[in-house]
Structure 1
Amino acid sequence: MRLFALSSVLIASLCGIQSANAANIYAGHAIAAAVCAQCHGIVNPSAGAPFPPLAGRDAEYLKSALKQYRDKTRESDIMNNIAGSLSDKDINNVIAYYSRLKP
């Protein structure tokens, strides 16, 4: 019985740790609406926009691209400045938001 109680507490604490580190799609939406949507749109950019829509894009691709822009190993004057202001947490939140949208 004591082992069962101990394992229950351990499992509950591990679940809490995982959710504390999980990305926040609501924070991602706020960043996307304030920063990304002007060029990339939320779901679809305006007709004829030269920037790709981000909705539904692969999470690993988005993460890699944003970190490369932030670190200036991928060059774009606009994106280097925008991504340069994002923390890892911000990037994870934006990715969580955009990758869950339907294209």
Structure 2
Amino acid sequence: MSADILQFLKNKFMDELEEAEEEHPPPHDIPLHSYFLQIRELLETKSLTPSTGMKDCLYDLSIALTDCILFLEKRKMKINKDSSQGQGQGQGAKARPLLSA
């Protein structure tokens, strides 16, 4: 059963990383993306057994990936919000009539 949990956590990380890469295509803005790629390569070659003691690491890895994706999405939302506010201010300035002395 312990081996099943390890395999589930490994697959969960791999699926989440693949999904994040599809949602945020190259150039990847995913924070720490190169590290996640290295970890994925390692996990693809490593066989997981209950004695490897990787359960906590896989939990932490999945949480770290989720945190990075949330950070990326919040950053993109802030950039979009800031750019839309900037456009609104620019339009407001153009609409004001010039006062003549």
TM-score (norm 1): 0.30
TM-score (norm 2): 0.30
* Structure possessing the higher radius of gyration over alpha carbons: 2
Q: Relative to total residues, which structure has the larger helix share, 1 or 2?
A: 2
